[in-house]
Amino acid sequence: MAFDWHSEPLTRDTPVTQDYRNTQNVRRFLTEQCGPTFKFDRDFMAWIRNDTAKTLGDVVEEWQRRHGNKA
C-alpha cells in the first residue's frame, strides 16, 4: 500500500518515496520545520524528486541550506 502523503504523520525520518506528493500535510510539516518563510519552488521540487534516496529531514536541511534559514 502506498504512503498517504495527505494524512500520515510526518517526521524527519519519513522517507521520500516514489509516490511522494507536495500535499498540504507536507507543506504544513515543512513550514513547522523550516519556518514561516518556507515555500516550494521548481528547483527545490525537482531536487526532492530527483530519485536520490532521502528523508524529510534531508529535505528540511536542503531547504535551510538554500535559504540560510536555521528555524
- pLDDT tens for residues 3-30? 999 999 999 999 999 999 999 999 999 9
Report yes or no on 8 lying in a domain: no
For residue 32, CA distances in Å to 1, 15, 16, 38, 39 come to 27, 18, 18, 9, 12
What is the span of the domain harbouring residue 60? 24-67
For the chain, how many structural domains are there in total?
1
Query: Which segments of 1-40 does DSSP mark as H helices, in order?
Result: 24-34
Q: Is residue 4 part of a domain?
A: no
Q: Judge whether 2 lies within some domain.
A: no
pLDDT score recorded for residue 69: 65
**Residue 5 counted as domain residue:** no
Q: Per-residue pLDDT tens for 37-67?
A: 999 999 999 999 999 999 999 999 999 999 9
